[in-house]
């Protein structure tokens, strides 16, 4: 028995030793920060296990005003069970720019931070629009090569910033969230994210069709940083977080303390109320209290499909239709949402541990559930 135990220990040590000295050394960090914590993928509070840049709260905090019917109507038994089943931590309804309803679960509250995952992609796209407005970037058509001449691949000189934002980059990337050895996983754990991204080649003609790739958002974020001379965290604070009156500080995960490159494809940790402000900014076409924070034409372009064949996506915003109402939304892994119905002046935020299942054969999924239930609650007071 001791002999077999020694052999097992040797195999384990040899395996981990091999990983440590190989190109998969980042896998060990993934094991420690994700798998040994009982998770099989990234999770809402994993920001605590990583290095982060802090985004301070606004110098002029602007709380959401309360609707006159704030929390006077109760959710249906179906929504209550749906939230419980899918481990929702926050569900907010903002009607006519006033907080109509909010509920928190699992010890989360007003200031609780929660990983946004890919909702951050929409924020990075907003920073692109701001960088164009500020003159740091010429336009959506500016080649990425202008900023990174070391970019590799047969189409490296053709890919534009607009191609990155609209997910038509032609990048050599395999989008897998649950495979521990995928490039997506390595981007989450590696301590030199820039090197990883710049070694991914542009292998297909860019700007021709939609293909969702987190690497495209990461390259976009790195380009914005190079163009502005500010970290994404600094630029976000100066451009939006401070003028929109964010009430609480946020965190943006970085690859390491040494490099401090933000994970632009994910990982802003903030709270439901402050996330909702990004939805309001886009609902109001870039205006905040009369001030133009981002060009309205850019916002309109962002929430419209670039490709007819992929009407579900614009420039890092997801697009949909609910019973004839236009919908655009920020969407993240495990069901993080900021959902906007502009013609109903309605914003819905849902954060949670699990993505919901289809509620029926006729439903497209949990987004429709959260919209439908919000509208029912609002109609109950009319």
Closest Cα partner for 212 from 168, 242, 252? 168
Q: What is the pLDDT of residue 290?
A: 95
Residues 200, 153: Cα–Cα separation, whole Å: 8
| Domain-located, residue 45 | no
Q: Please write the tens of the pLDDT for every residue from 294-337.
A: 999 999 999 999 999 999 999 999 999 999 999 999 999 999 99
Q: What is the mean pLDDT of residues 128-147?
A: 98
Mark whether 14 and 157 lie in a shared domain.
no
Residue 20 lies in domain? 2-37
CATH number of the domain at 149, please. Answer: 3.40.710.10
Mark whether 275 and 366 lie in a shared domain.
yes
User: Which whole-number Å values give the CA distances from 215 to 3, 139, 145, 234, in the listed order?
Assistant: 46, 21, 16, 21
Q: What is the pLDDT of residue 6?
A: 40
| Percentage of residues in the chain having pLDDT higher than 90 | 84
Q: pLDDT: is 240 or 12 the higher one?
A: 240
Dig out the tokens for 338 from the structure: 């900021």
Q: pLDDT: is 74 or 382 the higher one?
A: 74
Q: What is the pLDDT of residue 29?
A: 63
| Domain-located, residue 130 | yes
Q: Does residue 171 register a pLDDT over 60?
A: yes
Mark whether 30 and 125 lie in a shared domain.
no
The 3-state DSSP class for residue 138 equals coil
Q: What is the pLDDT of residue 362?
A: 47
The residues, any chain, with a CB within 8 Å of residue 94's CB and separated by 6 or more, are 64, 100, 276, 279, 280, 346, 347, 348, 349
Q: Does residue 73 register a pLDDT over 50?
A: yes
Q: What is the mean pLDDT of residues 193-202?
A: 97
- Give the mean pLDDT of the chain: 91
| Domain-located, residue 124 | yes
**Could you tell me where the DSSP H helices lie in 93-160?**
119-133
Residues 122, 127: Cα–Cα separation, whole Å: 9
Residues 127, 197: Cα–Cα separation, whole Å: 19
Q: In what order do the strands lie in the sheet with 98-104?
A: 98-104, 88-95, 346-352, 336-341, 325-332, 318-322
Q: What sign does the CA torsion over 328, 213, 299, 275 have?
A: positive
Q: Does residue 137 register a pLDDT over 50?
A: yes
| Domain-located, residue 145 | yes
What's the structural domain count of the chain? 2
| Domain-located, residue 47 | no
Q: What is the mean pLDDT of residues 343-363?
A: 82
| Domain-located, residue 42 | no
Q: What is the pLDDT of residue 326?
A: 98
Which of these ranges, 281-290, 296-305, 350-359, has the smallest mean pLDDT?
350-359
Q: pLDDT: is 321 or 5 the higher one?
A: 321
Mark whether 146 and 175 lie in a shared domain.
yes
Q: What is the mean pLDDT of residues 278-283?
A: 98
Q: What sign does the CA torsion over 151, 156, 157, 162 have?
A: negative
Q: What is the pLDDT of residue 39?
A: 78
**Could you tell me where the DSSP H helices lie in 167-238?**
183-189, 193-198, 214-228, 232-236
Q: What is the pLDDT of residue 270?
A: 98
| Domain-located, residue 8 | yes
Instruction: Please give the backbone phi and psi of residue 127, each rounded to the nearest 5 degrees, phi first.
Output: -65, -35
Mark whether 14 and 137 lie in a shared domain.
no
Mark whether 126 and 184 lie in a shared domain.
yes
Burial profile 248-258: b = 16 or more Cβ within 10 angstroms, e = fewer: bbbbbbbbeee
Mark whether 227 and 259 lie in a shared domain.
yes
Mark whether 203 and 247 lie in a shared domain.
yes
């Amino acid at each position: 028995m001791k002999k077999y135990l020694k052999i097992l220990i040797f195999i384990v040590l040899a395996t981990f030793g091999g990983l440590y000295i190989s190109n998969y050394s980042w896998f060990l960090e993934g094991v420690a920060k994700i798998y040994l914590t009982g998770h099989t993928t990234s999770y809402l509070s994993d920001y605590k296990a990583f290095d982060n840049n802090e985004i301070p709260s606004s110098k002029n905090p602007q709380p959401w005003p309360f609707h006159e019917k704030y929390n006077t109507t109760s959710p249906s038994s179906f929504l209550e069970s749906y939230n419980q089943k899918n481990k929702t931590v926050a569900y907010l309804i903002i009607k006519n720019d006033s907080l109509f309803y909010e509920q928190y679960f699992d010890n989360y509250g007003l200031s609780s931070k929660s990983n946004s995952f890919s909702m951050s992609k929409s924020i990075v796209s907003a920073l692109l629009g701001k960088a164009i407005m500020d003159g740091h970037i010429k336009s959506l058509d500016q080649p990425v090569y202008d900023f990174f001449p070391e970019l590799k691949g047969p189409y490296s000189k053709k890919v534009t910033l607009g191609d990155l934002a609209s997910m038509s980059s032609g990048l050599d990337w395999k989008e897998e969230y649950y495979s521990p050895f995928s490039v997506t996983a390595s981007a989450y754990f590696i301590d030199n994210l820039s090197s990883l991204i710049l070694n991914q080649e542009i292998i297909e003609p860019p700007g021709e069709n939609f293909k969702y790739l987190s690497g495209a958002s990461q390259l976009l974020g790195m380009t914005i940083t190079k163009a502005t001379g500010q970290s994404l965290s600094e630029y976000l604070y100066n451009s939006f977080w401070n003028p929109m009156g964010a009430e609480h500080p946020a965190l943006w995960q970085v690859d390491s303390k040494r490099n401090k490159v933000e994970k632009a494809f994910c990982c802003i940790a903030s709270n439901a109320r402050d996330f909702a402000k990004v939805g309001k900014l886009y609902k109001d076409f870039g205006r905040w209290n009369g001030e133009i924070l981002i060009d309205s034409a850019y916002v309109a372009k962002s929430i419209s499909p670039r490709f007819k064949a992929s009407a579900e996506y614009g420039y890092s915003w997801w697009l949909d239709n609910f019973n004839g109402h236009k919908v655009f939304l920020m969407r993240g892994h495990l069901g993080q949402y900021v959902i906007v119905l502009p013609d109903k002046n309605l914003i819905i935020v849902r954060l949670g541990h699990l993505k919901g299942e289809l509620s029926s054969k006729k439903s497209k999924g949990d987004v429709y559930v959260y919209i439908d239930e919000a509208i029912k609650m609002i109609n109950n007071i009319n």
